[in-house]
Structure formats: C-alpha cells, structure tokens
Amino acid sequence: MKSSVITFPGSNCDRDMDVALKKFGFKNKMVWHDDQELPKSDLIVLPGGFSYGDYLRCGSMASKSKIMKSVINFAKSGGLVMGICNGFQILVEAGLVPGVLLRNKYLEFICKNVFVKIENKENSYFKNLDKNVFEFHIAHNEGNYFCTNEQLKEIEDNNQIAIYYCDHDGNLDNENNPNGSIRNIAGIFNKEKNVLGMMPHPERMIDQSLSGEDGAIFFKNLINNIK
C-alpha cells in the first residue's frame, strides 16, 4: 500500500506520521507542498503542525499551496485523504470537509489524552474495528469545531460525524469535550466518506511506551481495509 505525507512549511508531525505509516506497512513518500504532482498513492495524509505559522487562519495558506490542487482532485475522484490536526484545519479551509475550527473554548493550547467514540464504521477508515471507544491524544489550540445549524443537520443526516469526544465509556458530555466543539465533534467526513479530518493524533500512540497503543489499532486496521 502506498501513502504520501505532504510537508508544508511549518508542518511538524510529518515525520511522526511517516514513522507510523511505515511501521504498519505503508510504503510512504514525503511530498513537498510546492510540487505539482502526487506520487501514485492509496492514501494521502495532511499532517499536523503549524503550516505557515498558523498566521492569518490555521490551514488557510496551506490550503492554497500548489500540491493542494492535486490533493483536491484526488479526493474528488474518490481517493482517501486524511487530515490530522493542522491537516484537518487545511481540509476545512480547502472546503473538502464542512465546518470551521475555532480557538479552544478556554483559549489555551491543550495537550492530553482523550477518549473518542466511533459510530459510523461504514467507511474505509473504521470498518472492521472491533471496539467503539478509543484513547487518542490531542495537542492543539484551534480544535473547537463549529458549523451552522443547517450544516449540522446535513452532516448528521449524511452520517458525516467520524468521531466524538467522550468519556471512558463512550458517553458524550461537556466535561469530556476538551475544546468546546459543537456536538463533541472530534472528526468529520466528507459526504462520500473518503476524506477524513480529525483533531486527535493516532500517530502519537503507536507503541506501549508512548501515550497508549490505540493508534496502532487504528493504523493496522486502516492498512487492512485498504488492501
């Protein structure tokens, strides 16, 4: 399986994503933002970080880079595109997934483990996972997901909510909503479910010495789903 990770100026989780993808069997290539063409890939990842310093709005300048034209075409033709953290912000700015990401409710950067719940498994990312609640890790300043009521209705009608922040047992409540996201949304799909944007970093949880191993479960399952 072939994957590509795009490096934008200011990306800083690109190496971590490269390490994780390779660990679970992807043949990964790093792609420079200023390139025009994507290598042949089964999965494109927009990694976390601070592309263009998060100046203007997080992800907005990166969403206009040269490579993004190819990424958008790839997504529109049904290719799998996953954006993590800043990558999610770029997807939102590029219009590949609906909504916006505002500053965290308490106006502070948050770095910690959180629980997330997966409801919709009818997609290439989550199908065949044998549990619903995962412990993932977040590290962001602008992860407060927001959209209009009409958008929210559409998102819910189309089953586009990918993951929710929740407690250990999968209950959604305010206390376990780290950044104030509407409906506890931590990740979202496009209508066709081939584009996934999420704030948590599965690549930081790929062995037992790190914050946890649920990221490993996610990646192992992902490569099997793509095969």
* C-alpha span between 145 and 89 (Å, rounded): 10
Handedness of CA 110, 114, 119, 120 (dihedral sign): positive
85 is catalytic: yes
- The footprint of other proteins (CB under 8 A) covers 9-10, 12-13, 15-16, 19-20, 34, 48-50, 52-55, 108-112, 137, 139, 141, 201, 203-204, 206, 209-211
Q: Which of 13, 58, 85, 166 is catalytic?
A: 85
111 is catalytic: no
Q: Which of 33, 137, 140, 201 is catalytic?
A: 201
Strands 185-189 and 161-166: antiparallel
Residue 103 Cβ, how far from other proteins at the closest point, in Å?
Answer: 12
| Interior angle at CA 44, CA 43 and CA 46, nearest 5 | 145
Residue 65 Cβ, how far from other proteins at the closest point, in Å?
Answer: 12
Give the amino acid at 46: L
| Interior angle at CA 219, CA 217 and CA 223, nearest 5 | 120
Residue 187 Cβ, how far from other proteins at the closest point, in Å?
Answer: 18
CB nearer other proteins, residue 35 or residue 42: 35
93 is catalytic: no
Backbone angles phi, psi at 146, to 5 degrees: -145, 145
CB nearer other proteins, residue 48 or residue 197: 48
Active site residues: 85, 201, 203
